[in-house]
Every structure is written in C-alpha cells, then in structure tokens.
Amino acid sequence: AQSVTQPDIHITVSEGASLELRCNYSYGATPYLFWYVQSPGQGLQLLLKYFSGDTLVQGIKGFEAEFKRSQSSFNLRKPSVHWSDAAEYFCAGAYGGATNKLIFGTGTLLAVQP
C-alpha cells in the first residue's frame, strides 16, 4: 500500500541550529513528493516539491529537500532555524498520472528554543 511516513512526531531545536525532518515513502514507482508547512491557526503552505531531475530541491523560506531513491527518503533541511519556523510540517506523496490524490504523513511538530 502507498504510504508516507514521518518517524518524528515532535522535534525541538535551538534557534540558529540546523534542522532535518525525515520523510520516507513506499511506492513501486518514483512518487511525486511534497513538503507542506502549517503555522499555528493557518492552512497548509507548500514549501517545495519534487517530480524528477535534480534530487536536491530548493524551496521557500530557505528550506531544501533531498530525494534519495536508495533510502526511499525525502528529508527536509534548513541550515539555520528561525523562531518563526516553529510549525507543523507535513510530507506528502502521490503517484503521477491523472490522480490528484495526495497521501500525507502524520506530521512533525517543530518547536524552536531561543
């Protein structure tokens, strides 16, 4: 079955420290992969997406993600976290083709310590 797994429910980092949020997928073919962020009281905002090509993807707000087929992973990274990055982060995936269905992970809640 298609699935997207985010192993970390909650992560705390210090402001200025680097960040890596983990995402693993299970598909037969290469999926389309996305990272969304949900700030408190807000809807989801797309940070970045990967379809094919360069495996390192740049997104908004200084985030990047790397697709690693050998590890079935699409981890989100940021070199220096700001207090405003505190939010919940969702990884999502989908098969290509005509489907519009995204499969979401369970989310990782990021807390940023001063």
Smaller CB separation from another protein, 13 or 103: 103
Give residues in contact with another protein (CB under 8 A): 6, 9, 32, 36, 41-46, 49, 51, 90, 92, 94-102, 104-107
Report how far residue 92's alpha carbon sits from residue 44's, in angstroms, rounded to the nearest whole number.
12
Nearest to 110 by CA among 14, 25, 33: 14
Nearer to another protein among residue 15 and residue 38 (C-beta)? 38
Query: Among residues 70 and 99, whose Cβ is nearest to another protein?
Result: 99
- Closest approach, Cβ 86 to another protein, in A, equals 17
Q: Which candidate, 60, 10, 3, 71, places its Cα nearest to that of 35? A: 60
CB 94 within 8 A of CB 79: no
* Least CB distance to another protein at residue 13 (A): 21
- C-beta of 110: minimal distance to another protein in Å? 15
Q: Is 35 in contact with 23 (CB distance < 8 Å)?
A: yes
